[in-house]
Amino acid sequence: MNLFFKQKRTLKRLFNDTAGSMAMVWGVIGVGVVITVGAAYDINQVSKAKQIAQMAADNMALTASIAVDTNNTDRYVDGQNYSYRHLGGPTDDFTNSMVGSVEYDVDDDGDGVGNLLARATVSGTYSTAFAAALGVDAIPFTASSDVAYTQVEGTPASVFFAVDNSGSMGWSDATGANKLSALKTSMTSFMTTLDTINSDANDVYRTALWPYSQDYYGRYPYISDDGIITNKDVPADWGGLTNGEITRMHTQYGTDSSGALEAAAAAFALEDAVHFAQNGAADPIKFMVFMSDGANNPKSEWVCSTITVNEYWLDTFNNWNTVYTSYKGWFDHWVIHYPSSGGPYEVAGSCGWQTTYTSDERSLAACEAMKADGVTVYSIGYHLVAGGGVSQDEVDRAQALLSGCATDAEHYILASDANDLNTALDAISQKVVTEVIRVKH
């Protein structure tokens, strides 16, 4: 009997032992999961590759449209394949396969008139990491971009700068970068972008620069009474600002933007005629870039109120400016009487030191004049934060001036650090370049 039960238990264990079969099942499922996840990874990588290819195609088409002149030895040759490093892509080609080519004179709508297109096509092949298990060893991808161009290369434009060179521009921003150094780097990059739309005749755009600060004590003759650093400014002229004109800027004393903005407004008023005489463009595009890292310094002025009186006495002996509005018993023959028969008179009342914000008022008036003249005004507030001797009231005043000067809210930019500043100026430079050259996907 014991032998029977022992044999029964042995058979039961054999029937119930599924460890081996389940391991096989889970193994099959695991392979499927790995392949599924891997395929998703491959698809994501193809999507990433296509995004990179699209950005490269945009850059290639834009460059091609600018250099459309067939006598331009630097332009892409129609139909020729170029490796990725020639395309101006924004990042590395991790597929190591991308090539691009350009087709010129594409008639987009087929009517044979109007703007023609430069069409750039970038293609490549992604070698799969996991989908090969499903028989897919490689996935091709492609991207294209069309850019219109006209018979005239480039866009007539005037781009002027009024930038803060006050003492606080020598301080560090939110990331510890020196603010003036960051400004110089960003402006140099700006000029590099503008240079892509220049022509051999050098008559596509004009630039000017007015650095500003404020000389509290009148020690330096090269700082004007309204803040322009006159030995560092660059009058409006054809082409971009040179590296030397940008890098020679230095920080000094306080802040007064009024002179720089008034000088820019006066220069813009002449730009239509200058462009028309040079390139026949009667209405060039005009951009103003106004940057500050703080409020204009207020001024203390001796101010006297004005009152109206029927008669007054002027003491010419003690002080010609001493006015009495009533008779004094000790008056002598050095007193001049202005009788009521000639009145009423307006004379100075009480006097005292008064804080004024005339720099803000003049700056805003100059910005309004530019906007009325068709200028697009960008204003950039760089590292506008309270602390370290800067009050919140000063921050508020700076923001009010900058936002008031800008064409609208979209043209008022706050940059907390060097990266933000560079991004802002890069976006403005791209706006100049693409004002009439439009990228189409």
Task: Tell me the two tokens of residue 242.
Answer: 């040179």
pLDDT class of 321 with cuts at 50, 70, 90: low
State how many domains the chain has.
3
Query: Which is higher by pLDDT, 263 or 430?
Result: 263
CATH number for the domain spanning 365: value is 3.40.50.410
Q: Treating both helix axes as pointing N-terminal to C-terminal, what angle do 258-279 and 358-372 enclose, rounded to 10 degrees?
A: 20
Which of 149, 165, 186 represents a domain boundary (last residue)? Answer: 149
For residues 273 and 368, membership in a common domain is answered with yes
pLDDT for residue 196 is more than 90: no
pLDDT class of 440 with cuts at 50, 70, 90: very low
- Total residue count of the chain as it appears in this document: 441
2 is a domain residue: no
Domain hosting 349: range is: 299-356
Compute the mean pLDDT over every residue in the chain, rounded to the nearest whole number: 85
For residues 175 and 311, membership in a common domain is answered with no
Query: Which is higher by pLDDT, 159 or 9?
Result: 159
pLDDT for residue 86 is more than 90: no
pLDDT class of 89 with cuts at 50, 70, 90: low
233 class by beta-carbon count within 10 Å (0-12 exposed, 13-18 middle, 19+ buried): buried
For residues 211 and 246, membership in a common domain is answered with yes
226 is a domain residue: yes
For residues 58 and 110, membership in a common domain is answered with yes
For residues 190 and 77, membership in a common domain is answered with no
pTM attached to this predicted model: 0.61
pLDDT for residue 55 is more than 60: yes
Which of 149, 175, 192 represents a domain boundary (last residue)? Answer: 149
- SS3 string, the chain, reads CHHHHHHHHHHHHHHHCCHHHHHHHHHHHHHHHHHHHHHHHHHHHHHHHHHHHHHHHHHHHHHHHHCCCCCCCCCCCECCCEEHHHCCCCCCCCCCCCEEEEEEEECCCCCCCCCEEEEEEEEEEEECCCHHHHCCCEEEEEEEEEEEECCCCCCCEEEEEEEECCHHHHCECCCCCEHHHHHHHHHHHHHHHHHHHCCCCCCCEEEEEEEECECCCCCCCCECCCCEECCCCEEEEECCCCHHHHHCCCCCECCCCHHHHHHHHHHHHHHHHHHHHHHCCCCCEEEEEEEECCCCCCEEEEEEEEEEECCEEEECCCCCCEEECCCCCCCCCCEEEECHHHCCEEEEEEEEEEEECHHHHHHHHHHHHHHHCCCEEEEEEECCCCECCECHHHHHHHHHHHHHHCCCHHHEEEECCHHHHHHHHHHHHHHHHCCCCCEEC
**Residue from 119, 197, 190 nearest 153 by CA:** 197
For residues 335 and 351, membership in a common domain is answered with yes
Question: pLDDT digit string (tens) for 398-410?
Answer: 999 999 999 999 9
Question: pLDDT digit string (tens) for 274-306?
Answer: 999 988 888 899 999 999 999 999 987 777 888
**Most confident region among 87-91, 105-109, 218-222 by mean pLDDT:** 218-222
Residue 51: the pLDDT is 87
For residues 321 and 289, membership in a common domain is answered with no
